[in-house]
């Protein structure tokens, strides 16, 4: 009987231990599933935080808007300079890059401008040309346009020197004086007077809207320091007369 009791107790003890082991196993399984679940939750964030080889940073770079290009300044034109055919200019409209135009005024003094077509600018100062284009753009195309007209280079005006000078011929106006130079400077560019020149007998032929004009100039009084000067303009033809003795 006692042996039977011992067998029963042993069996119950084994059953109790088996239950404890089963509880430990279940707890371990629950812990493993919890760890797996946490890993699955964290894994996508971990991937997003990594940089893929061969690419830039994980976060897209902010798109920066480049500032508007500065307006062209061009050459420094004398105050009140009047645009002439073959002058090279640039027309810019602030914020409208497609309306930028650069080129030389054609022989009629016109420039091809976007939207406006051939526009006459010769005979205007830079300020007047700017005002004209501002008005034309604002009339039909833009609201409060900001237009800038810059002079890129002068038309290379020429003048002719004939008669009693060292080197008769055609000469270009200096870059610093596109609108004209003093008569004595023009003669100096042509080699100065010859020994038989008569500075008091100089004629200048000038073409204007009404036709050719003949101007008689006594340059001898300029050389004596009595004051005065005579401006030679592009297109003028100078003839230095010869002394009669």
Cα–Cα distance for residue pair 149/190, rounded to 1 Å: 35
Task: Pick 37 or 52 by higher pLDDT.
Answer: 37
Query: Is 71 within 8 Å of 148 (Cβ atoms)?
Result: yes
Tell me what the mean pLDDT of segment 71-89 comes to: 79
For the record, the structure tokens of 227 come out as 């004051």
Tell me what the mean pLDDT of segment 163-172 comes to: 95
Q: Which domains does the chain have, with CATH numbers?
A: 88-153 (3.30.1950.10), 158-242 (3.10.560.10)
Which regions of the chain does DSSP assign to beta strands (E)?
Answer: 88-93, 101-104, 110-113, 117-120, 147-153, 158-163, 169-172, 181-182, 197-208, 211-217, 231-232, 237-242
C-alpha distances out from residue 11 to 6, 16, 101, Å: 9, 9, 105
Q: 188, 162, 182, 185: which is closest to 229 by C-alpha?
A: 182
Please give the model's pTM, rounded to 2 decimal places: 0.48
The predicted structure's pLDDT at residue 23: 57
Q: pLDDT tens digits for 115-139? A: 999 999 999 999 999 999 999 999 9
The predicted structure's pLDDT at residue 68: 47
Query: Is 159 within 8 Å of 186 (Cβ atoms)?
Result: yes
Compute the mean pLDDT over every residue in the chain, rounded to the nearest whole number. Answer: 78
Tell me what the mean pLDDT of segment 55-65 comes to: 42
**Residue 11's pLDDT band (cuts 50, 70, 90):** very low
Helix runs in the chain, H state only = 2-48, 126-140, 183-189, 220-223
Among 101-110, 173-182, 204-213, 218-227, name the one with the lowest average pLDDT.
218-227
Q: pLDDT tens digits for 97-118? A: 999 999 999 989 999 999 999 9
């Amino acid at each position: 009987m006692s042996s039977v009791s011992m067998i029963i107790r042993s069996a119950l003890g084994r059953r109790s231990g088996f239950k404890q082991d089963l509880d430990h196993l279940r707890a371990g399984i629950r812990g493993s599933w919890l760890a797996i679940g946490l890993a699955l939750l964290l894994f996508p964030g971990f991937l997003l935080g990594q940089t893929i080889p061969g690419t830039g940073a994980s976060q897209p770079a902010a798109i920066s808007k480049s500032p508007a290009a500065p307006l062209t300044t061009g050459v420094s034109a004398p105050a009140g300079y009047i645009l002439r055919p073959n002058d090279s200019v640039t027309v810019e409209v602030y914020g409208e890059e497609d309306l930028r135009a650069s080129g030389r005024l054609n022989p009629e003094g016109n420039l091809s401008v976007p939207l406006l077509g051939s526009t006459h600018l010769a005979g205007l100062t830079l300020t007047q040309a700017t005002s004209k284009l501002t008005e034309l753009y604002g009339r039909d195309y833009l609201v409060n346009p900001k237009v800038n007209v810059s002079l890129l280079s002068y038309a290379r005006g020429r003048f002719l020197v004939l008669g009693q000078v060292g080197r008769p011929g055609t000469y270009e106006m200096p870059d610093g004086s596109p609108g004209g130079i003093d008569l004595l400077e023009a003669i100096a560019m042509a080699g100065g007077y010859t020994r038989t020149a008569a500075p008091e007998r100089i004629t200048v032929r000038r073409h204007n809207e009404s036709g050719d004009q003949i101007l008689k100039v006594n340059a001898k009084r300029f050389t004596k320091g009595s004051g005065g000067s005579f401006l030679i303009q592009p297109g003028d033809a100078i003839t230095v007369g010869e002394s009669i003795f």
